Amino acid sequence: MWTMPLLLSALGCKKVEDVPADLDGAMHFLWTHLEEGTDEELVSGVISLDGALGGATLEETTDGSISRLTAPEVEPLGVTDRDPALAAGIVMGNLITCNVEMVAEILTWPEQDVLYPGVYQSYDRTYHGDIPTFLDGGVDTLEWSLDYGAKVISSDYTGHTEALMRRVGAEAFGEEETSITKAYVVRYFAPDPAVFEEGSSRTFEQDYQFEVYWNRGSGETLHAYSMWRQANWGVGFTSEDESVQRLLLNGMADWDKDTDDICAEGGPEAASAGR
């Protein structure tokens, strides 16, 4: 699932060195630079990612594996008691037939369980910032916490994740020789392992997810999505199994199809009212 040296614009931006030209490298570059990276670095990463995916002509879902996260990549999140090398990685690239502004509105909608029914047993987001201000471009980042419940292979579990979403606007892309004018980069991670019902032998030790959305023209959005998980789902299935990874990748593609539908219904508010 989921490049090109670039000359930075004449608006005083400096050239960003060493931006990986491959899909794997571009995703890791953006993960590392999400919080502390400059707009110029994120712009470089997104343009690189677009080139690696063949974004200008991408029409069908592409997916595969991605190299594992390293300790230096997760330690800033406070995860120091688990080895990220034990979390298998998958990645997907896809086209969403919806403008990127609407996709951002869908992403930040509090009741994701209503928009995407059948995924969660419980879902509660707590925002640490104002959604309209973020969507209007008044601030560049939005954070939220999520407590959720779900079921896997007949076992219930609960989990907690922290999310950070960063906007990269037209002013950052400046006069680059690219049709990209806006992007959103989103990171999710679980600070602690998920909790299964008492007596279950299943485990879900690590969960990291990373998404990049950017416009293609005015009415389409390109989506790169990576996930790293360490889990034992029971009955012989773990996050290392190709069959499990295929189910996850198919589910990621189906999620984007549902996003297409939400967009076609007029956005999250209209879609929620109809569910």
What percent of the chain is predicted at pLDDT more than 70? Answer: 93
Strand locations in 62-181 (E): 62-65, 88-96, 122-127, 141-152, 155-168
pLDDT tier at 72 (50, 70, 90 boundaries)? very high
Q: 34 lies in a domain? A: no
Q: 42 lies in a domain? A: no
Compute the average pLDDT of residues 136-158.
93
User: Based on the structure, what is the number of domains in the chain?
Assistant: 1
Q: 7 lies in a domain? A: no
- How many residues make up the chain in this entry? 275
pLDDT at position 16? 66
Between 7 and 258, the higher pLDDT residue: 258
- Cα separation of 93 and 23, whole Å? 10
With b meaning 16 or more CB within 10 Å and e meaning fewer, what string describes 88-99? Answer: bbbbbbbbbebb
Tokens of 215: 């416009």
- Cα separation of 124 and 77, whole Å? 21
Between 39 and 4, the higher pLDDT residue: 39
The pLDDT tens digits for 40-71 are: 999 999 999 999 999 999 999 999 999 999 99
Q: Give the up-direction half-sphere exposure of residue 108: CA atoms within 13 A in the CB hemisphere.
A: 26
Q: 9 lies in a domain? A: no
Examine the pLDDT at 177 and tell me if it is beyond 90. Answer: no
Q: Give the up-direction half-sphere exposure of residue 257: CA atoms within 13 A in the CB hemisphere.
A: 8
Q: 192 lies in a domain? A: yes
Compute the average pLDDT of residues 82-93.
98
Q: 51 lies in a domain? A: no
Tokens of 1: 């699932």
pLDDT at position 199? 82
Compute the average pLDDT of residues 81-101.
98
Q: 35 lies in a domain? A: no
pLDDT at position 153? 73
pLDDT tier at 200 (50, 70, 90 boundaries)? confident
CA-based nearest residue to 8, from 47, 56, 34, 51: 47
Q: 45 lies in a domain? A: no
Compute the average pLDDT of residues 222-232.
98
User: Which CATH number is 98's domain given?
Assistant: 3.30.530.20
- Cα separation of 8 and 71, whole Å? 31
Examine the pLDDT at 4 and tell me if it is beyond 50. Answer: no
The parent domain of residue 257 ranges over 66-273
pLDDT at position 10? 30
Answering whether pTM is above 0.85, one says yes
Examine the pLDDT at 235 and tell me if it is beyond 60. Answer: yes
